[in-house]
């Protein structure tokens, strides 16, 4: 028998910046249209961080929402994990900035960067820390300010992304916990197809033209995801001894609605049992999955006891998933 999870999700919070960037706004910025964006991506609008808002700001406000909505007095967590590929700084970590804001003591901090797969990695790490007895309480936050690295002259990329954050409180439970299975893999040979340079680099003696801006080969990534994610989902189901009939909600990374439709078609899984967050918030990288769960709970779709298959995929190229029972 494998190790039994001792982790329970005890509270969820989220924060979305006030500024909205609609498809009609983008029509004035690049050669695009609301019809083209909606048909190709499913995104209608996205939230954009304000001038004084960074990933740490979004993370802090998501934790404040978690505390307020759940009427908590949040004592010091043993570990604070932030998943992000858009940190405020190379160092200090976003997690350290959040810890400092709340004046937590005896709290470890770490940032985890696995791009859009980050949240499921973070959830797996948090579960391992709790189940092995190293921690009793972990605060896990996905926070992304992707708008700060988007190239708003590239119409194929800028229409996709938005900013946001979600926070999960995970606590030790002496009976069986929520994590039922996990699966992770990567293909670093394709890493160059989704990049954002952080340091000055030269190619053939010339500086990269779009240094510090996110660039991706959307077509290649689409083809890779549609081909490989269904097999990844089947791998995690095989590890768990379950089938898709045992899953109440599929929660993939909300990169692109058309991509998710293609995945669900290959899996023969209904879209009406699939949770996404990109229609009104865009692709918020590691935050799309927890925001979709938060939305599902807020809308009364997700109920205690439901089984959710969370599956992320993104730059690296990384992908992986985790099955949880709330």
Asked whether residue 139 carries a pLDDT value surpassing 70, the answer given is yes
Q: Which two tokens stand for residue 74?
A: 């949040």
pLDDT in tens, 190-207: 777 677 666 545 555 555
Catalytic residue among 135, 178, 196, 253: 253
CA 230 to CA 41: how far, in whole Å?
A: 19
Predicted model pTM: 0.92
pLDDT digits (tens, 9 = 90+) for 16-30: 999 999 999 999 999
User: Which tokens go with 84?
Assistant: 């992000």
Is 89 in the active site?
no
pLDDT of residue 295 exceeding 70, the answer is yes
Average pLDDT value for residue range 141-162: 90
d(CA 159, CA 45): 9
Q: Above 70 in pLDDT, residue 229?
A: yes
Q: Can you give the pLDDT at residue 203?
A: 52
283 is catalytic: yes
Query: What residue ranges do the domains of the chain occupy?
Result: 7-172, 179-325
> Which 8-state DSSP code applies to residue 77?
P
Note if 135 is an active site residue: no
pLDDT at 131: 94
**Which of 23, 116, 135, 256 does the annotation list as catalytic?**
116
Asked, colleague to colleague, whether 7-172 and 179-325 share their fold, the answer is: yes
Helix (H) / strand (E) containing 240: helix 218-240
User: Do 106 and 76 meet the contact criterion of CB atoms below 8 Å apart?
Assistant: yes
- Class of residue 18 by CB neighbours under 10 A (exposed 0-12, middle 13-18, buried 19+): exposed
**CATH of span 7-172:** 3.40.47.10
Residue 156 is predicted with a pLDDT of: 84
Q: What is the pLDDT of residues 31-56, one digit of tens each?
A: 999 999 999 899 999 999 999 999 99
Catalytic annotation, pick one of 23, 65, 283, 319? 283
Q: Was domain 179-325 assigned CATH 3.40.47.10?
A: yes
Per-residue confidence (pLDDT) for residue 204, from 0 to 100? 57
Average pLDDT over residues 282-295: 97
């Amino acid at each position: 028998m494998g190790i039994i999870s001792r982790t329970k999700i005890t509270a969820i919070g989220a924060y979305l910046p006030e500024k909205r960037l609609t498809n009609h706004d983008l029509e004035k910025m690049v050669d695009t249209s609301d019809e083209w964006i909606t048909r190709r991506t499913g995104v209608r609008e996205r939230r954009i961080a304000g001038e004084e808002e960074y990933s740490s700001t979004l993370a802090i406000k998501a934790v404040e929402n978690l505390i307020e909505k759940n009427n908590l007095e949040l004592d010091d967590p043993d570990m604070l994990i932030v998943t992000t590929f858009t940190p405020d700084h190379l160092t200090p970590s976003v997690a350290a900035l959040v810890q400092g804001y709340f004046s937590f003591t005896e709290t470890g901090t770490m940032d985890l960067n696995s791009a859009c797969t980050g949240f499921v990695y973070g959830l797996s790490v948090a579960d391992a820390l709790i189940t092995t007895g190293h921690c009793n309480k972990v605060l896990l936050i996905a926070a992304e300010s992707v708008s700060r690295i988007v190239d708003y002259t590239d119409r194929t990329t800028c229409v996709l992304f938005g900013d946001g954050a979600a926070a999960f409180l995970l606590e030790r439970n002496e009976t069986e916990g929520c994590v039922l299975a996990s699966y992770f893999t990567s293909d670093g040979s394709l890493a160059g197809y989704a990049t954002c340079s952080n340091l000055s680099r030269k190619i053939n003696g010339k500086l990269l033209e779009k240094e510090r801006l996110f660039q991706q080969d959307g077509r290649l990534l689409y083809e890779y995801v549609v081909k490989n994610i269904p097999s990844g989902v089947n791998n995690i189901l095989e590890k768990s001894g379950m089938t898709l009939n045992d899953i109440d909600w599929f929660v993939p990374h909300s990169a692109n609605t058309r991509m998710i439709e293609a995945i669900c078609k290959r899996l023969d899984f209904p879209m009406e049992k699939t949770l996404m967050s990109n229609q009104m918030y865009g692709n918020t990288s590691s935050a799309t999955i927890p925001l979709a769960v938060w939305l599902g709970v807020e809308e009364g779709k997700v109920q205690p006891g439901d089984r959710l298959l969370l599956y992320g995929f993104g730059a690296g190229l990384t992908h992986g998933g985790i099955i949880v029972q709330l």
